[in-house]
Structure 1
Amino acid sequence: MTEIDLPLYAEVTAQAEALRLGTDAAELHGSLCGYLSGGATPSRKDWLALVMADSDLDDVEPDSALDQMFRATALLLESPDFGFELLMPDPDLSVSERGDALLGWCRGFLGGFGLAAGAEPPLSEESRDALGDLSRIAASDLAYDDPESDEEALEEVAEFVRVAALLLHSDCVLGPRHRRSLN
């Protein structure tokens, strides 16, 4: 398996702005992750129109930041070493900006997951709980009072979100795939 790194957050943001998508890089990445984790299997070309539910969007240009994001995300979600990561703003930005991006990532994930998995996906109890937690995180209003503890809390929540996405991907994609291969 060829390794592809996620593009820079700024590159995805610039391309999303150029295409007038009305979403930032974190929310777009969350939408893609949710869509893939819900069991959808879009192509490298048409994923953006499907994730954005906008058939008027052009196909993704090969080797663009959006193409790189798709290829890296698909590989990372399948990675046996749990190398999946969230596309987030630069760590030098304020904790509030990164916190807002994480909430956007969660909103995007929920939307993409719902598009792909439908109303009643085959989830374990643990995954149902994780999906509910992602929903509560996405609906949160964050307050930033103590920069040091806020930084730690953001890291913990981001790690929880990362693991929740992997868990949902496992239930909706890996589990059914393994059951099919056993039959």
Structure 2
Amino acid sequence: MYQAVNAVLEKYDADMGAAEAHGIAVGMLCVELKTDAANWLHELFIEQNDVFDEDKTLLVDLFERSRELLEPETEEFGFDLLLPDEDDALSEQVEALRVWCQGFLFGVGYAHTNADWPGESAEVMRDLIELTKIDSDVDGEDDEAALIEVHEYVRAAILIVRDQFVEFKNTNMH
């Protein structure tokens, strides 16, 4: 999936790759699960009218699948970040994780312009900001183990942010 999404983004000269694009989608969805895929596509492509239907379908499917996996009722372990395969170079995996976090922060900012961060989400955001500064010049088993740990942390952190926003909305609707 990662390679396919990357290929579509490259084909239309998008300013980002698959990891960052997925991060944006997840950020937008964490804040507002009902957000429209069209808003996301608008962020990816300036001229989305030029995007072929089959390419648009692939992206919208990724967006909708992410929405399903972020539904609070969904089994928590289904959600994951769209990153390169474990077979890819470690530096490429780390760089993808870095830009995924960058995309996520952008997506959250796009959907949540209010300065108030509900619950623990402010702390998570600070951590993710720090992760956008990680060095992708890595190699070796220690770095590989660290990447797995950070990947798991980010995955769990995203679910915390989602839960905080769901709770925040429910509290403020009454």
Q: TM-score, normalised by structure 1?
A: 0.82
Task: State the AA in 1 paired with 2:131.
Answer: I
Matched residue, 1:16: 9
Matched residue, 1:132: 126
Deviation digits for residues 40-96 of structure 1, max 9, x if unmatched?
A: 6332444310x44x6643378367220111111000111532121100111101111
1:154 matches 2:116: no
Deviation digits for residues 76-135 of structure 1, max 9, x if unmatched?
A: 1115321211001111011111000000100100111111111414411x2211110000
SS of the residue corresponding to residue 92 of structure 1 reads coil
The one of 31, 53, 60 equivalent to 1:61 is: 53
- Against the structure 1 CA distance between its residues 130 and 150, is the aligned structure 2 distance closer, same or farther, given a 3 Å change threshold? same
Q: TM-score, normalised by structure 2?
A: 0.86
SS of the residue corresponding to residue 82 of structure 2 reads coil
The one of 84, 88, 91 equivalent to 2:86 is: 91
What CA distance in whole angstroms lies between the structure 1 residues aligned with 2:115 and 2:172?
Answer: 20
- Asked if structure 2 preserves the Cα contact closer than 8 Å seen for 1:99 and 1:142, the reply is yes
What CA distance in whole angstroms lies between the structure 1 residues aligned with 2:116 and 2:66?
Answer: 21
- Asked if structure 2 preserves the Cα contact closer than 8 Å seen for 1:33 and 1:109, the reply is yes
- Asked if structure 2 preserves the Cα contact closer than 8 Å seen for 1:40 and 1:116, the reply is no
Matched residue, 1:169: 162
What CA distance in whole angstroms lies between the structure 2 residues aligned with 1:87 and 1:166?
Answer: 15
- Runs (5+) with no aligned partner, structure 2: none
1:105 matches 2:105: no
Greater per-residue helix proportion = 2
- Asked if structure 1 preserves the Cα contact closer than 8 Å seen for 2:105 and 2:129, the reply is yes
Q: What RMSD, in angstroms, separates the aligned Cα atoms of the two structures?
A: 2.3
Task: State the AA in 2 paired with 1:132.
Answer: R
- Against the structure 1 CA distance between its residues 98 and 121, is the aligned structure 2 distance closer, same or farther, given a 3 Å change threshold? same
Matched residue, 1:123: 118
What CA distance in whole angstroms lies between the structure 1 residues aligned with 2:133 and 2:106?
Answer: 13
- Runs (5+) with no aligned partner, structure 1: 1-7
Task: State the AA in 2 paired with 1:42.
Answer: T
Counting aligned pairs with the same residue, the percent is: 32
What CA distance in whole angstroms lies between the structure 1 residues aligned with 2:141 and 2:59?
Answer: 33
What CA distance in whole angstroms lies between the structure 1 residues aligned with 2:17 and 2:94?
Answer: 13
What CA distance in whole angstroms lies between the structure 2 residues aligned with 1:35 and 1:60?
Answer: 24
